[in-house]
Structure 1
Amino acid sequence: MNMRSKAVKAAGIVAMGSVIVLAAAGCTRGGGGGGGGGEGAASPGITDDTITLGVTTPLSGGTAGPGNCTVAGLVAYFGQAGPIEFGDGKTREVRVEAFDDTYDPQKALSNFQQAHSNVFAFTSGLGTPTNMAFREAAIEEEVPQALIMTGDPIFSDREESPWQLGFVPIYQNEGAAFGELLAESGEDLTVAILSQNDDFGEGYVHGFKEAIEGADNIEIVRELTYEATDTSVDAQLTELAATDADVLFNAMSITPLTISAIEKARELAWSPSWFLPSNTSSPAGILGPAGANPDDGFYSVSFSKAPQSPLYADDEDVQTFLSALEEFSGRYTTTPDFPHCMWSYMIGATLEEAFSNMTEPTRENFMEALGDISGLQAPLMLEGTAIDTTVDGQPAVSTVIVQKYNGQGYDNVEDFG
């Protein structure tokens, strides 16, 4: 399903604090009653006319750049798409309420407790620790955490809970993709590892190590961690640089720390090839500000087109996306410096697909419809990737493409070097 070729503008955009409402003027707020169309009683956050989605995400602090993008693309998608026709025959405006958690788990939990009785589902929010903070409460209250931006596989374990589903590839898949690239290169390579000391970092490292297991050409020479609350990783970079490793596997989620790590390596005259996770590899938001030298070799993985890349300068999907972002997302950002802007736009398209197959205005029916999407080519998806929510244990996107930084954007690569 592609986005409508001619977008219908929402009748009004109303800003209230940290809330963006994409709704026709005069629509009542979502909540219980009035769902209609199906046999099930309407869940909170949906009426015959509206559906309200909640996003708890870092809108301020060290991860504010990616965090604002998790809302911007979503707002842009539904702002441009206008009212959505649901499978129960009702046409509803989509409202997006965004709450700042500053990447603090306790604030994320507080946001959930404040809003869960007024929103239909939580979606798009960034972060493993923050989403994990209210996971048990969401299960108890039977509130969907749908298409959230964390690669922790627990959020895609349907047997464990039918109320969660991740969007981005699990961390292990990203780490494995880079490990496979190195193992298949045939080059004798030494690797230093710096990872975040939590499920995020552990997932990346686990996937990487599994992929190089049995590869005689790859040797891990040093492995260090850092805390997500740290303000510097200079000591770790100094110790890792002393190994003179060929490759730095940098499983880091904090934007300022990623920039400072690249700058510190340059100060130490260490020029390894780098692996960066998809959420901390932005050319405009990280590599450019850090003065990254593309000759060193900066690798990441992706499943979305990058508007900064000359390859997509005239791409119709990209132009439509940029136009929507400019028109509807000024409160958050109109410059897609982080891939989360594109990801949340794709989330909008995926949600619309689920909404179109909902026959009852209930959270349960929504999760059933969401879990039955296969082969969806959402706007901005790279060739070779697609939305598939039908595989237990996998998020909506499970395929990634390895890419290499070219100084402006990324090029797809098949070989290391």
Structure 2
Amino acid sequence: MTPRPMNLQKRILSAVALSAAAALALSGCGRSDGGGGGGEGSEGVSASPGITDETLTLGVTTPLSGGTAGPGTCTVAGLAAYMGAANEAGGIEFGDGKTRTVEIEAFDDTYDPQKALSNFQQNNGNVFAFTSGLGTPTNRAYREAAIDSEVPQVLVQTGDPIFSDREESPWQLGFVPIYQNEGEAFGELLAGTDEDLTVAILSQNDDYGEGYVEGFKEAIAGSENIEVVSELTYEATDTSVDAQLTELAGSEADVFFNAMSITPLVISAIEKSRELGWSPSWFLPSNTSSPVAILDPAGADAEDGFYSVSFAKAPQSPAYAEDEDVVAFLENLEQYAAEYTTTPDFPHCMWSYMVGATLEEAFTTMTEPTRENFMEALRSIEDLQAPLMLEGTSVNTTEDGQPAVSTVVVQKYNGAGYETAESFE
């Protein structure tokens, strides 16, 4: 039997049960008419769809094919690895005293917002909550429907801050740091240098790209030595960014702030810059900075200086070869996630593993089998050191306006993996 994920430090949370009257009033929207797993709980509380006394079913709509299939499959693989190990160990003991296994239903949306919405509409009555799926446009596509249907859409892998606004999105919660946090972290690194530096920016023409650029510009606003000299955008549907790279290279900027989410386009951007003879230092978003899936295929030269941010241990790094968390993660990925991937080439594999740990923390404090009580428990987690988290980062779901993880560490590519960047070089 494969052991449960290691080093998960449990915190005892106070989960305030709903009063009987409030529970009856709230549970009406979650009452099952069959087929969704709902039923009458042991205390007379109507269970929400997707949960019984023995099982809970999670839905994931994410790109399993197309240009973002690499990170997309990872959003399911890590979750499958974590829950597979938990199920093998006997299941998860919930706060209501029931021990349940957790089942995962994954739906391919190809990074198409309309497909994501269709996936939600066709399956929201059969799953307890949607979680872990990749993408700003795809998660936004069914956000309003999830609110209207009062279905949790939580710990999703988008840095869009709207998912962490409790008033605007009462049934949502993001998992990864908001894009502004990532851009700000790199801007602060640049602002801390005494060098005069010029910056070129290429960003995705949507909330994803705008968030990165906003955070970056705010961080360098007071720095007289940092100047943005060229700024362009691209569409997520574009098949090439060669024209943008040619124009940006003409600026001869020292730094390239590259807020792109499409894996093939990031690879081609690195290759095109080399073809043009432009060798800036690079900033890459956490979701498109993988050494194995991005930098190696692009023939990236570590001497150019590739920076990114992270909150997860990198299994490929020699520094973590014997790390207890990493060893357990790789074993569980191999045993329980083979349907999706067993090679964690993208950080989303590690992130979704942490999502599994965060969900388990919420499950253990749920006192009723309802979506309402789940959201209450989920929003009560503080300082959880989930498996694979870097020192100095943790899960905290109690701060309005922030996702479950809001702290990142700036790292620099060393030719094999990433190491903490104490300063910009």
TM class, shorter-length: over 0.9
User: 1:50–1:30: structure 2 CA closer, same or farther, 3 Å change rule?
Assistant: farther
Q: Which amino acid aligns with 2:78?
A: G
In structure 1, runs of 5+ residues without a counterpart are 8-27
Name the structure 1 match of 2:66. Answer: 61
1:113-262 to structure 2, matched below 5 A, reads: 113-262=121-270
How many Å separate the matches in 1 of 2:412 and 2:213? 20
CA contact (8 A) 1:66 1:339 kept: yes
- 1:81 paired to 2:86: yes
Task: Please give the residue correspondences for 1:322-361 in structure 2 after superposition, counting only pairs within 5 Å.
Answer: 322-361=330-369
Question: 1:55 aligns to what SS in structure 2?
Answer: strand
Q: Residue 180 of structure 1: SS of its match in structure 2?
A: helix
Q: Is the 8 A contact 1:44 1:117 kept in 2?
A: yes
Structure 2 unaligned spans of 5+? 9-33
Q: CA deviation at 1:6?
A: 11
CA distance in 1 between partners of 2:139 and 2:370 (Å): 22
Question: Partner of 2:37 in structure 1?
Answer: 31
Q: Deviations over 1:111-146 (max 9, x none)?
A: 000100000000000000000000000000000001
Query: Match for 2:293 among 268, 271, 285?
Result: 285
Distance in 1, Cα, partners of 2:362 & 2:231: 42
SS of 1:165's partner is: strand
Distance 1:229 1:218, change over 3 A: same
Partners in 2 of 1:361 and 1:328 — Cα distance?
Answer: 26
- Does 1:374 find its partner at 2:376? no
Q: Distance in 2 between matches of 1:221 and 1:6?
A: 46
Aligned residues: 395
The one of 68, 71, 76 aligned to 1:71: 76
SS in 2 for 1:98: strand
CA distance in 2, matches of 1:78, 1:99: 17
Runs of 4+ in structure 1 deviating by more than 4 angstroms, as ranges, are: 2-7
Output one character per residue of 1:17-37: Cα deviation in whole Å (capped at 9) or x when no partner: xxxxxxxxxxx9752114x24
Instruction: State the SS of the aligned residue for 2:192.
Output: helix
User: Where do 1:394-413 residues align within 5 Å?
Assistant: 394-413=402-421
Q: In 2, Cα distance between the equivalents of 1:412 and 1:81?
A: 32
Give CA-to-partner distance per residue, 1:300-359, whole Å, 9 cap, x none: 000000001111111110000000000111110000000000000000000000000000
Partner of 1:42: 47
Secondary structure in structure 1 of the residue aligned to 2:257: strand
Question: What TM-score, normalized by structure 2, do the two folds share?
Answer: 0.91
User: 1:261 is paired with a residue of what secondary structure?
Assistant: helix
User: What is residue 103 of structure 1 aligned with on the other side?
Assistant: 111
Q: Distance in 1 between matches of 2:35 and 2:126?
A: 8
After superposition, what is the alpha-carbon deviation per residue over 1:50-85, rounded to whole angstroms, capped at 9, x for unaligned?
A: 000000000000000000000000000010112111
Provide, for residues 79-109 of structure 1, a one-character-per-residue CA deviation record: whole Å limited to 9, x for no partner: 0112111000001110000000000000000
The letter of the residue matching 2:168 is E
Cα distance in 2 for partners of 1:133, 1:5 equals 36
Q: CA RMSD in A?
A: 1.5
Distance 1:94 1:321 in 2: 18
Shift of 1:3: 5.0
Distance in 1 separating the partners of 2:154 and 2:289: 24
State the TM-score, normalized to the length of structure 1.
0.93
Q: Counterpart in 2 of 1:15?
A: none
